Amino acid sequence: MECREFGTTNEGLQARLYTIRNQNIELSLSDFGAALVSAVYRPLNRDIVQGFTEVKGYQNEVQYMGCSVGRVCNRISKGTFTLNGTVFHVPVNNGPNSLHGGLIGFSDRIWDAEPHEDHIIFRLFSKDGDQGYPGDLHVQAVYRLLEDGWSVTYTGTAEADTLFSMTNHAFFNLNGPCSDTALDHVIQTDADHFRRVDPDGQTYGHALSVEGTPFDFRQPHLLGERIDADDEFIRNGNGYDHHFEVPGCGMRTMVTCRNNDLTMEVRSDLPGFHLYSSNFLNGDSVHGKQGGVFPYRSSVCFETQYVPDAVNLDDAETPLLKKGETRSNTTEYHLCTGGINHECQ
């Protein structure tokens, strides 16, 4: 395990970067946002996530990149929800909606770090009323090396009924962080339903079948193959920015992503994942790793999570965490050499 300084935040706080490795994987993680800064697949000596050389890149250039997002990830419609008969208002910071926990979400804070040789524990305390959410909440993010990848587990313990739905917002490019496109990545998922979005990116209405739509990845398709299809919800998302519901429960494969020489399989015990094709990157980053500037659609995100805005939907499981309860959710990332048409063992 190695630790070094990672620059100072806009508020003058010192950030740190921790690196752990095994034979196949090297992870670098920051205490700012409990963020995944790099994930190197050592057999190919390739970093597969976009990120920055110091903390200000995460604050000033691409917010949320690689970070742990909460207390509730994704959007809450109009920044309003009802819990136990009480109406709560959280900050509106994305058009008319609240996004990724509010103005100062978990991704914008320095976490306490406890490093170990094969895992790192990050801890954060979110007090009652933080960003408008009810109840004191104790949070842990644990990144752990696996033989062929890594896992991240988010755990919340509530002192009052609240919402708890976290995700990791890594921006992946299997060609490396300087590649200018992820549209050549092949995507496959068993998800048979997806969630529509309005022009503000807000999830609404009931789930729709993927059958006959550009959202059907039950057979492998290039990410870029139908990304500009003449489809209402593709237009609303400016590409892919939609939640996919994966059948089953417990730990299972969410999605598989391949390029020509590498395969990544994402597994989770959450209800599904949000597919985001980095439609709002603009190529103007100046602190990108390896000189990367991160242009439009140069990466892809697989944000495992509950259905966005589930608290305001009739047909989705609300991520309610009750007083005195603890809940954990885990996502695993498995890598193997061999790309398109290759199956990892």
pLDDT in tens, 76-118: 999 999 999 999 999 999 999 999 999 999 999 999 999 999 9
Q: For residue 216, what pLDDT band results from cuts at 50, 70 and 90?
A: very high
- The mean of the pLDDT values for the chain is 97
CA–CA distance, 193 with 219 (Å, rounded to integer)? 14
CA–CA distance, 229 with 238 (Å, rounded to integer)? 10
User: 10 Å Cβ neighbour count for 11?
Assistant: 9
pLDDT in tens, 231-263: 999 999 999 999 999 999 999 999 999 999 999
**Does the pLDDT value for residue 344 go beyond 70?**
no
Strands 252-258, 86-89: pairing is unpaired
Per-residue pLDDT, 300: 98
Strand partners, 242: 275
Per-residue pLDDT, 341: 61
Running DSSP on this structure, what letter comes out for residue 233?
Answer: H
Q: For the chain, first and last CA: distance in Å?
A: 28
Q: What is the mean pLDDT of residues 206-211?
A: 98
pLDDT in tens, 133-151: 999 999 999 999 999 999 9
Beta strand extents in 102-251 (DSSP E only): 112-115, 119-126, 137-146, 149-158, 162-163, 167-168, 186-188, 193-194, 208-209, 221-222, 241-245
User: 10 Å Cβ neighbour count for 291?
Assistant: 11
Strand partners, 304: 273
Per-residue pLDDT, 271: 97
Q: Which helix (H) or strand (E) holds 320?
A: strand 320-321
Q: What is the mean pLDDT of residues 172-181?
A: 96
CA–CA distance, 52 with 60 (Å, rounded to integer)? 11
CA distances from 173 to 31, 40, 226 (A): 23, 12, 19
Per-residue pLDDT, 262: 97
**Does the pLDDT value for residue 160 go beyond 80?**
yes
**Does the pLDDT value for residue 31 go beyond 70?**
yes
**Residue 36 half-sphere exposure, CB side, CA atoms within 13 Å?**
32
**Does the pLDDT value for residue 345 go beyond 60?**
no
Running DSSP on this structure, what letter comes out for residue 52?
Answer: B
Right CATH number for 2-337 from 3.40.50.2300, 2.70.98.10, 1.10.3720.10, 3.40.50.11540?
2.70.98.10
Per-residue pLDDT, 338: 82
- From 54, 245, 265, 303, the catalytic residue: 303
- State both tokens at 49: 């996530």
CA–CA distance, 160 with 147 (Å, rounded to integer)? 38
Note if 303 is an active site residue.
yes
Give the start-to-end residue ranges of the domains of the chain. Answer: 2-337
Q: What is the mean pLDDT of residues 22-36?
A: 98
- From 100, 119, 169, 185, the catalytic residue: 169
pLDDT in tens, 116-129: 999 999 999 999 99
